[in-house]
A and B are shown apart, each in its own frame.
Chain A
Amino acid sequence: MTAAVELVDFDDVVARFDPVMGIEVHVELSTNTKMFCGCPTEFGAEPNTQVCPVCLGLPGALPVVNRAAVESAIRIGLALNCSIAPWGRFARKNYFYPDMPKNFQTSQYDEPIAVDGFLDLTLDDGEVVRIGIERAHMEEDTGKSLHVGGATGRIHGADHSLLDYNRAGVPLIEIVTKMIPDTGARAPEVARAYVTALRDLIKSLGVSDVRMDQGSMRADVNLSLSPKGSGTLGTRTETKNVNSLRSVERAVRHEMGRQAAVLDAGGEIVQETRHFDEQTGHTRAGRRKETSEDYRYFPEPDLVPIAPSAEWIEELRATLPELPWERRRRIQDEWGVSDEEIRDLVNAGALDLVEATVAAGAPSQEARSWWVSYLAQQANTRSVELADLAITPEQVARVVELVASGELTNKLARQVVDGVLDGEGSPDEVVAARGLKVVSDEGELIAAVDAALAAQPDVAEKIRGGKVQAAGAIVGAVMKATKGQADAKRVRELVIERVGA
């Protein structure tokens, strides 16, 4: 393990070095069954209950490719603007590890199903960065090990390990970028934006739930530094275990500072695997391998080649949903909002929510206003994600409707929303339970106005004498009497009316 080094200040790093990145993302597909057998893929089942001779690697068992996984891979490839390989084989990647039942991983090696695409990202300031996609290929996941004894489930110092193969054989798509040069100080931001955009894209395809927290999307970040203007490529490290969007950004930033420190000290960057620690935000070196890896790839003899026809590819292309950038453009047109506004919505994680609220009948202006201001504040106060607030877009739309119809004032509406968030029921239930409806019964209001005028005859006299601004005192009294549930504008009209009558 290398000793902790003093990181070089980020601005200093980018002043003297050019970072070059490469990002590999593994996505677990949400197919019903595994890549090569009919076992279910559901997360969280009892250990070793979603296994069969094939995914347990029992002697004699043979794989058969899941058509839906291939279709998902092709759709991801098409959405990433890749070419789909007209012919390709699976290969075996040979290495021993207890979580891998066959001691080889069935993967695509030099014949990936999708190659040479790109994904355009829009950064916070509106700059568009094109990330080249080298390849997307299919492979299978490994089982899970539980390390017993020693420190808190860590592999080091464990006494023994327990293996669960439910995850073994779950279909994975690995998406590899081309080298990402010339991002300078924006490298951490670009890395995060790329993983975010990829996540949104794959989510829109409906092929994975892309939950980084559950491991259904995992990122590995390759990074190297080269002295500015040198034109040479530095030695890269690969940082694994980067399991949140924020961590992607932090890992890049940390690794830049660390590598610069090593280089400044006259050291050499070791080509190695590093692990990201969520707690400290640091990367640490993995254990060095005794022998250099030699995966001895060769074509998988138990599976025949995949040769997607042009017709099949076009059929799949036709099933692509509206992709995130297309959707954003359409929404912008429909709602008439600016680039900045749409970006704010996306960054706030509010776009889906606002769209659903609009779909439930609310005008886009009101829907946007609720989600980015009051509800965003509430999410902040309550320390939850916007999407995890206990209110649905339909409920927000109902509140907007109640305000528009005059049944609620904006102030009352906020109280109704508070009630919903506190679990008191639907907006209508909160209105009823808390008695928050605007007092719109004219008779009731007239009685309240008359009572207030009678209580302050001098003020009534002033108004009658033309000092209309004196009506404020009466309106205030009426509002107080109705606990704020009256429409102040209407009260004012009634005061003038009653005095003049």
Chain B
Amino acid sequence: MARVAREMVEKAGINVDQLVKLLVKNAAAELTTYYYYTILRCNLIGLEGEGIKEIAEVARIEDRNHFEALVPRIYELGGNLPEDMKTFHDISACPPAKLPKDPTDIKAMLTVLVEAERCAVRGYTHICNLTAGKDHRTYDLSQAILNEEIEHESWFSEFLGEGPSGHFMRRGESSPFVSKFLR
């Protein structure tokens, strides 16, 4: 634990225990999403599915990176991950991104993907709002993750015909915003 760092956050008026719980729930959401996206990616096949597979894979890898980036902050603030994996799954801040009943229904697949990203966008916006101007490190981390989650949402939203994302695909390394927390 980073004792003084935690004290500074407490002095700024944040309920650190609540914040840690929130970070653990979001870490659970990231790791479970990584798992469920693995299944979704495997099922993104055929002419339509293959077109989405690559961005689903980028989102999958970046969600795993978000988990990796969140964990050190949880422990710095005096928190920890649950010992039991099922407990961890069940406290996730977002519902499981489960494979639709008909995996050949590409719209259903995209809906699962975009809803997962929207849950994450809401979650990190919430953490940014809680920590802005008070817990600079958690804010910086959450904002970095939020940047990537917003991009994921817009990619899937674009495929659903909701309008252009305005982006091109990742060029080079993944996690352009979060990578500084992974070194």
Query: Does chain A bind chain B?
Result: no
Residues of A whose CB lies within 8 Å of any CB of B are none
Residues of B whose CB lies within 8 Å of any CB of A are none
